Amino acid sequence: MKGFSYSKLLLLSSLNAGSQAQPPAEIKLALTQLTGQQCESATFSERKTLPGDCITYRIKVENVGGKDARNVEVSGLIPKHTILRSNFRDVATQEKLNTVVEQKADGTRVIKTTLGSLPSKGNSTVILEYSVMVL
């Protein structure tokens, strides 16, 4: 089987913003994709992925707005020809987060988690990650 690359990822963010007395919360997302050979090595490479390789998606979630954000939902795509290897976790604390996997009518699979709160400015960045294995 020829190697293939998974560079497309769906990222969604939604939040429950209350009153608008100050500038609302504004969520900024950034994605990093790491590939590990045969899901056993910590060495990541730039080559195309092969069956048995793992892809780890890191999502930097930052509140750059003027108000604290509550109930921030972060979603990522589980690409075709992969299986979920590990659920969302907070990279800084290594805490495993409650994760839901949804299968859409078109066959797309999405992994979701909700952050209870994300302060505005200052200490407002969380890095989440999840992994899939290429079939």
Domain ranges for the chain: 12-134
Is domain 12-134 given the CATH code 2.60.40.1510 in the classification?
yes
Separation CA 39–CA 131 (nearest Å): 10
Q: With bands split at pLDDT 50, 70 and 90, how would you rate the model's confidence at 5?
A: very low
pLDDT, tens only, 9-43 = 444 445 554 444 567 888 999 999 888 877 776 55
What is the pLDDT confidence band of residue 1, given thresholds at 50, 70 and 90?
very low
Q: pTM value?
A: 0.79
For residue 135 the two structure tokens come to 């079939």
Q: Write the pLDDT tens digit of every residue in 93-111.
A: 999 999 999 999 999 999 9
pLDDT digit string, tens, across residues 46-86: 667 889 999 999 999 999 888 999 999 999 999 999 999 99
Q: What order do you get walking across the sheet with 54-63 strand by strand?
A: 27-36, 54-63, 125-134, 82-90
